[in-house]
Amino acid sequence: MTAESAKPPASRRTFLAGTGAAAAGTAAAALLGGPLTGTARAAGPVCPPGQFAPVPKRALGPLVNADGYFVGQITGDLYWVTDSFYTAMFLTTQDGVVLIDAPPTIGHNLLRAIGAVTQANGRPSQVTHLVYSHSHADHIGASSLLGSDVVRIGHSECRTLLLRDNDPDRPPPEVTFEDRYTLTVGGQTLELAFHGPNHTPDNIFIWAPGQQTLMLVDVIFPRWAPFKNVAVSQDIPGWIQAQDIAMSYPWHTLVAGHLGRLGTRDDAELQIAYVADLQASARATLQDLDPTPFFKEYGDNAWAIFKVYLDAASAQAAAPVTQKYLGKLAAADVFTFDNAFAVLQSHRTDGGVLDPFGDHPDP
């Protein structure tokens, strides 16, 4: 069943219903004009559990079809597919399909989506190349569904990590690179680049110059607060810098790997402002919050002292940022405390801002 013909029941995932890419801006609006995007429609009220704020409509993407996916045209021969939780991207060419990432939650629907698109545009449906954004299973755990003939491409560190993990669902890439790699298939080009560790030691930038589209996974979350602990990133300064590196590309459309929506430059700027506010609030908290009461209360239990101090610091740093971004970033009230904790710890361990646990004063 194609996305064009599917009509999801009214009750199906209504909490994920959205206005589609049209609400995201001019570039994203164009995506809804393709022949396979007929299921996108406006959402009704979003009613999450009572302890969390409602999700703004513009944070949501198009409805999935009865098979559980949505596939849309970005521009030309470049497409995206989502299940509202994860996203992948693919290029159709005269010589086959280049797929970027294979999230297992989408799984076999990747092949259904590709088949629907290639049947409509008359291109071969065989996936000849699979690009790994990075090694994490939630983004490439369906790689094994594509068989052994597909050419897998990723950063050299991605291969190292996957050889270590020895996961049959994530075969290591055979083609690797250190800094840059240009992939050309059937007259279509993708430029792959590694700009240093960020979310992981192997997370890369995938640039489609002909379509002015950037795929960068687990760094920018269009119209959503970043996932817990700034996307559980392994290099927080690198992750923060990756946002700015992303903005140095002249992209019009962002494929972010998560949630069910494409991104615009305004979306990215909004997240950059959120992270900058978190950093400023974290710095102020480290200077202002007195740890003395925690020492007095917990005595010789060092871990308890650190826990209650860091929890209090995270709450203090998060509070003004949460308030500022409610209604602007979906789930600002869900993960801002955790994101504040990660930024605080990064200031302490990466930035050397150890107050009030800095150098002990001279007697």
∠ CA 126-114-42, rounded to 5°: 175
Instruction: Extract the tokens encoding 101.
Output: 């990432």
Distance from chain centroid for Cα 20: 17
Find all residues with CB under 8 Å of 287, minimum gap 6, and list them.
Answer: 355
Q: Which of 20-29, 46-55, 236-245, 298-307 has the lowest mean pLDDT?
A: 20-29
Higher pLDDT, 112 or 18: 112
- Count the helix, strand and coil residues of the chain and give each as a percent rounded to the nearest 5: 40, 15, 45
Which whole-number Å values give the CA distances from 180 to 78, 150, 183, 267, in the listed order?
21, 21, 10, 26
Whether the predicted pLDDT of 198 surpasses 90? yes
pLDDT reported for residue 43:
34
Q: At what angle do helices 236-248 and 332-349 cross, to 10 degrees?
A: 110
Amino acid at 155: H
pLDDT digits (tens, 9 = 90+) for 289-313: 888 898 888 888 989 988 999 999 9
pLDDT reported for residue 358:
53
Q: Which of 39-43, 222-226, 260-264, 266-270 has the lowest mean pLDDT?
A: 39-43
Predicted model pTM: 0.83
Find all residues with CB under 8 Å of 170, minimum gap 6, and list them.
Answer: 135, 137, 140, 141, 143, 144, 162
Alpha helices in the chain (DSSP H): 26-29, 109-121, 137-140, 156-165, 228-232, 236-248, 265-288, 292-298, 302-325, 332-349
Tell me the percentage of the chain whose pLDDT exceeds 70: 83
pLDDT reported for residue 200:
96
pLDDT reported for residue 36:
38
Distance from chain centroid for Cα 164: 24
Whether the upstream peptide bond of residue 356 has omega within 30° of 0, thus cis, is yes
pLDDT reported for residue 51:
87
Question: What sign results for the dihedral spanned by CA atoms 7, 11, 16, 19?
Answer: positive
Whether the predicted pLDDT of 207 surpasses 90? yes
Lookup result for tokens 């949501």: 60
Higher pLDDT, 196 or 15: 196
Whether the predicted pLDDT of 161 surpasses 50? yes
Phi-psi region of 107 (alpha: psi -120 to 50; beta: other; left: phi over 0): left
**β-pair type (127-131, 151-155):** parallel
pLDDT digits (tens, 9 = 90+) for 31-57: 333 333 333 333 334 445 568 999 999
